[in-house]
Structure 1
């Protein structure tokens, strides 16, 4: 475990005297923390600070999308309602879907991972910390651009899927769809950068001894998700770029009159869109795999089967996109293959459910709020999975296509499969974020309001869909008989709104008045619970050494001659230990960059380029100039940093 690094030195596991460790910890805190003040806030690169901004920003978009959904439910609460007109309603349902799919679901999962993954694998930071900061600013500016357009009555009105020719220049004049298309490019650029950061962090910055078969299941879930992002996101970026070229430059990629193809849009979009469901769902599975062992008080059952199930889910997810296109004129034989694949993907999910149940069945359960959300997830996911298998059948899909049955299924899978685990995860890791516990009584009230309100809202939509109510309509006639169930669904939406409000109160109140949490208030076994709550700037006082899958639980079994931490790394600079991919054997040292204002400046320049291109293609040409200047300044070597690098290389 001690190969020579690039400078000829050797990284040896070891333990320094207590006084020396304290001095080193204080020095590491000074070196790794972000600078104070406004300039320091803009230049921040610490992964925990960036992740917190990501989480608060995505949660803000979630609240905005929820308020939009509540407005739509009020409009549909009774037939022939005139609260909201058709044009505004089109913008509302487009903004709701766009926000939830592009500005909340995937970014919030990446944000939580960006905070936790370095702690889980024993790293002081994420890889490419400046790129991580740049990804946040790009995401923020893209979301603000979309909502700014909405406030100015230029919000998208063609749905979050923007089907052509409805979203083409003939049927959607103006700039509404243009803003939507560029927002997609913004957010997917951010997601791609975050995926690269996560992949590199998990594969190369693990603590010594954390081999691939010792990685926490949440880290496995995020590694699988990140690789999926690399393959899925370019498809939708290509689709949106083709759309804006059709609208602004006069290409005819989707125009059948000029030998274009409207189905090309659907293929490109759903090749992203269905893996997108699993980009949201798989991190939720990772949350469950982290929470269940802690509250069952035993290691996870079937670790290897769980990892293989995650990987197989990712592969199968890319073979399902045509089941969104069963109503199109595609060959029947081809549809049958996608039907089979749509049913087959239930198998790896079932394997994981059985492993969780086995872990809970043989454990000693601690019924706290995070576990309640896990148990609710089981119930809701099974219902969503059953309706998903139903929709995989072509004849049934043709009957309920574009009805509220599909809306119900979508929300059971996404809210049930992602938001319930996410809220449970926030309760679970909130002590690690803040050093305090959330209120348990408020948490239970919030859980029951959310669980009951969710089912009251979305279960009636199955029946509405079977009765023929189409989705994306702003009103309906009274004689159809849909009013009663729509009123019930609206009442459930109000319950969800009250639950979210209670959750916000719990978050804010607990930050100051919650019970003080120690490093490991739940008795968890993974490595993040070995760090202080909240963690210091460099996460750990010294890089830990790992000997098992549950390092905290197994620490008492470590032999006296087995070192607990790594020595030999510089503490006066941002030096990190890089390990091998398979066995986490120390490979070499790497010097990480200091905080810099240039990722923020580069994001501003990128934003100007994208927004300018909505109005003139020449903005792409001239907008490249400030982007190039900002990137050059970003990567230009600093004299002080160069001196540090040279000094580290000259070490004996």
Structure 2
């Protein structure tokens, strides 16, 4: 193998290209036509589907918003019944936050990042396809609950006890709790794809210092999703178990606490605001330099600001709980952090203004939306500082002032940058730009409509208008403000409608070469096809297309890295995460029906479980698991060729295993998600324990120490056997037997946990303390099922000769999962034994 570290001074491939090289590349990457298009896993195709579906939910949520404004336009209106109104405003918030805002930022990233990073594709294309289809199928199924009167009606934050079985006895709340579950799974799957893709598939030479700001923003956002979203998954699981099995996590009379839900929900909910804003900030930092014709001012400061905002966002969840009765010290610290986060945000705003000042902005449609973003978002940020002040928040917390602040931040922080991005990047889709004249009308209608709709809500809120109100009397003095807001919402909707008409017109035009209409510096403007660029560009600076304009001709001529297909399959180059040095050639999986089948099975499992079709729901779950196993079986296969020539002078290994492999890191990130979900369950147990006068509570006792000791011993023995198998070649029948023995140890440990729970009399329906232990054990039981699947999968691959000293990534990754399950089981045992003793002390 030739070292790749010294090849950056010359073109990677300067020899004449074989005449059929481009034809082979096109054949391998060609997008299927007709119904077979549903099998496509190319991230560019998936990204377009993702964006289109997210915009559909944006329109649907907007229609619900118009229904709300129609109801509130005049006093004592009866357009909607109180029950319908509750469903409509709950679905409006839920769809906007969960089915539009979060998916659209991932959708744009899935579409843009392969080109911006100079990669053929992101590393897990079938995972991206699964994430999209689970979101699309499940989201549409969830939305239809509105048409049968089963839509959730407890607000998009679903606070108990309002959403407990006592006060919400129907299935409405269950649709939210189970429906949000698969949406979060989809978002986390997308985050894993983005993190690994940004770190490992950048073009050779694109060091972290040379990486575009947008990629930095999505890297920070991916990490935030990994740590924030598990909390809401844990919270929804606990509330659904309370509703389904009467485990009283949030019922005060049996030791539960409704505030626990708020902690879990807002640990997700406030970082979510920045998960939505930071990608938009990254897009703004990418568009402004191109439109101003000058490099971004303060590039390093902006990157640092992105990281700082991401870090601070996790200290702010109690920002939404100032009126929940927390201690003065806790709320004061959160208040200070809520104001401090404005500093790194302000750094970005001033850097954007300085870039505009230094360059010469073209007054085109994207620029208008960017200026609108700056005006609206800064106003939203100012009111954000206001509600960070405790005395003011205590007065304004449950009023329409908060509704106004929320919409200024989200519409200003996401929607206006998104529309700027649509106008800016539309040529990448078909080579055609949206109408400039229509774009000015779209901006004018949206800008005027948005401010007319939401600015009066500040005043109405200060006059005492509460949130979530169904109607109001004329004597309250809110008439004019609500009528203005309703008119503004209609004007805003007309702007969106005009954009949709123009977008449809533009997409119907004949496709042509996109070129680089904005004279941008980033790589997504290189000529591209289904295989992205003809060759993977060699990056030598922060603004590659400005510093080396010849890339526009060299790359499509095949004069850079990997100009064709070496193995006859889809490929991309994996580079080192910091210096972007070529490490190995990754074989990418091709198009397949299995991600779609798995997604339909996943959505069917959650949705049918909601309406208590248990048998059919279970069958859907089996179909989902089987489809994932089949697609993994197909994907986990390296070609006979062990090395690949990726340039005239560089040869790389094909595939990798262990920490050198991208799949190993994908598994590690998945386990971080896994561990964060468990940490949320553990937090629930500690929170419940701290509220007890006596621990354990009357009627419960700590299990005898022999059972946890036995369980831990079996788990550690099983992990040791798996590790011994991993360090060997993994082929012989002895090793298959070892895996099965390790599985027996894991199952025996879980059986011991259940036995100790029974002997200790820990009835999860009796009190919240026992219920939180049962929740942790249930989660460990889920891992026992996963270990059964992994063990059988390993045995099958070993039996068929698919595990070897070279092709062993599956064994390495399964070992990681096994060791995590052991660590989690040991942690449960330790907590069950030690925490009551600490409480006694």
* TM superposition score normalised by structure 2: 0.73
Match of 2:540 in 1: 547
SS of equivalent to 2:508:
helix
Deviation at 1:516, TM superposition (A): 5.6
Match of 2:632 in 1: 635
Give the counterpart of 2:639 among 632, 639, 645. 645
Match of 2:529 in 1: 536
Instruction: Give the Cα separation in 1 of the matches to 2:372 and 2:625.
Output: 50
Map 1:5-24 → 2, pairs under 5 A: 14-17=12-15, 20=18, 23-24=20-21
Q: Does 1:456 align with 2:449?
A: no
| 1:506-534, Cα deviation, whole Å (9 max, x unpaired) | 1011123499663201111111112x2xx
Q: Does 1:58 align with 2:54?
A: yes
SS of equivalent to 2:246:
coil
Instruction: Give the Cα separation in 2 of the matches to 1:580 and 1:71.
Output: 51
Deviation at 1:569, TM superposition (A): 6.0
Instruction: Give the Cα separation in 1 of the matches to 2:11 and 2:609.
Output: 53
Q: CA 1:80–1:649 in 2, change beyond 3 Å: closer, same or farther?
A: same
Match of 2:168 in 1: 172
SS of equivalent to 1:636:
helix
Q: Does 1:279 align with 2:275?
A: yes
Deviation at 1:145, TM superposition (A): 1.9
Map 1:331-370 → 2, pairs under 5 A: 331-370=327-366
Match of 1:626 in 2: 623
Query: What is the Cα-based RMSD across aligned positions, in Å?
Result: 2.4
- Is the CA contact (8 Å cut-off) linking 1:3 and 1:587 kept in structure 2? no
SS of equivalent to 1:113:
helix
Q: CA 1:66–1:650 in 2, change beyond 3 Å: closer, same or farther?
A: closer
Higher mean C-alpha displacement, 98-107 vs 549-558:
549-558
Higher relative contact order (CA 8 A, sep 6+): 1
Instruction: Give the Cα separation in 2 of the matches to 1:131 and 1:596.
Output: 11
- Is the CA contact (8 Å cut-off) linking 1:437 and 1:516 kept in structure 2? no
- Is the CA contact (8 Å cut-off) linking 1:122 and 1:543 kept in structure 2? yes
SS of equivalent to 1:525:
coil
| 1:65-98, Cα deviation, whole Å (9 max, x unpaired) | 0011011111111000111111110001001000
Give the counterpart of 1:141 among 137, 162, 177. 137
- Is the CA contact (8 Å cut-off) linking 1:278 and 1:317 kept in structure 2? yes
Give the counterpart of 1:36 among 23, 28, 33. 33
- Is the CA contact (8 Å cut-off) linking 2:536 and 2:563 kept in structure 1? no
Instruction: Give the Cα separation in 1 of the matches to 2:592 and 2:514.
Output: 33
Gaps of 5+ in 1: none
Q: Does 1:397 align with 2:390?
A: no
Q: CA 1:618–1:378 in 2, change beyond 3 Å: closer, same or farther?
A: same
Deviation at 1:561, TM superposition (A): 13
Map 1:512-527 → 2, pairs under 5 A: 512-513=508-509, 518-527=514-523
Higher mean C-alpha displacement, 263-272 vs 619-628:
619-628
Deviation at 1:649, TM superposition (A): 4.9
Deviation at 1:631, TM superposition (A): 2.1
Give the counterpart of 1:566 among 561, 564, 567. 561
Instruction: Give the Cα separation in 1 of the matches to 2:607 and 2:420.
Output: 37
Instruction: Give the Cα separation in 2 of the matches to 1:114 and 1:637.
Output: 23
- Is the CA contact (8 Å cut-off) linking 1:439 and 1:514 kept in structure 2? no
| 1:25-80, Cα deviation, whole Å (9 max, x unpaired) | 33212111232231x22211011111111111110100000011011111111000
- Is the CA contact (8 Å cut-off) linking 1:438 and 1:515 kept in structure 2? no
Q: Does 1:494 align with 2:487?
A: no
Instruction: Give the Cα separation in 1 of the matches to 2:140 and 2:592.
Output: 23
| 1:309-361, Cα deviation, whole Å (9 max, x unpaired) | 00000000000111101111110111100000000000001001111111111
Deviation at 1:257, TM superposition (A): 1.1
Match of 2:325 in 1: 329
SS of equivalent to 1:543:
coil
Match of 2:94 in 1: 98
Q: Does 1:591 align with 2:587?
A: yes
Greater Rg over alpha carbons, structure? 2
Match of 1:230 in 2: 226
Deviation at 1:613, TM superposition (A): 2.4
Deviation at 1:557, TM superposition (A): 8.3
Q: CA 1:105–1:567 in 2, change beyond 3 Å: closer, same or farther?
A: closer
- Is the CA contact (8 Å cut-off) linking 2:182 and 2:602 kept in structure 1? no
* TM superposition score normalised by structure 1: 0.94
- Is the CA contact (8 Å cut-off) linking 1:34 and 1:45 kept in structure 2? no
Number of residue pairs the alignment of both structures matches = 639
- Is the CA contact (8 Å cut-off) linking 1:2 and 1:585 kept in structure 2? no
Gaps of 5+ in 2: 646-650, 652-841
Instruction: Give the Cα separation in 2 of the matches to 1:561 and 1:74.
Output: 57
Deviation at 1:624, TM superposition (A): 4.1
Deviation at 1:568, TM superposition (A): 7.3
Instruction: Give the Cα separation in 1 of the matches to 2:614 and 2:71.
Output: 42
| 1:583-608, Cα deviation, whole Å (9 max, x unpaired) | 10001111111111111111122122
Instruction: Give the Cα separation in 2 of the matches to 1:113 and 1:168.
Output: 37
- Is the CA contact (8 Å cut-off) linking 1:157 and 1:176 kept in structure 2? yes
Instruction: Give the Cα separation in 1 of the matches to 2:573 and 2:644.
Output: 17
Q: CA 1:35–1:185 in 2, change beyond 3 Å: closer, same or farther?
A: same
SS of equivalent to 2:286:
helix
- Is the CA contact (8 Å cut-off) linking 2:4 and 2:581 kept in structure 1? no
| 1:476-514, Cα deviation, whole Å (9 max, x unpaired) | 001111111111111101100110010001101112349
- Is the CA contact (8 Å cut-off) linking 2:179 and 2:607 kept in structure 1? no
SS of equivalent to 1:645:
coil
Instruction: Give the Cα separation in 1 of the matches to 2:542 and 2:386.
Output: 38
Match of 2:202 in 1: 206
Deviation at 1:197, TM superposition (A): 0.3
Instruction: Give the Cα separation in 2 of the matches to 1:451 and 1:255.
Output: 45
Match of 1:439 in 2: 435
Instruction: Give the Cα separation in 1 of the matches to 2:644 and 2:3.
Output: 18
SS of equivalent to 2:640:
helix
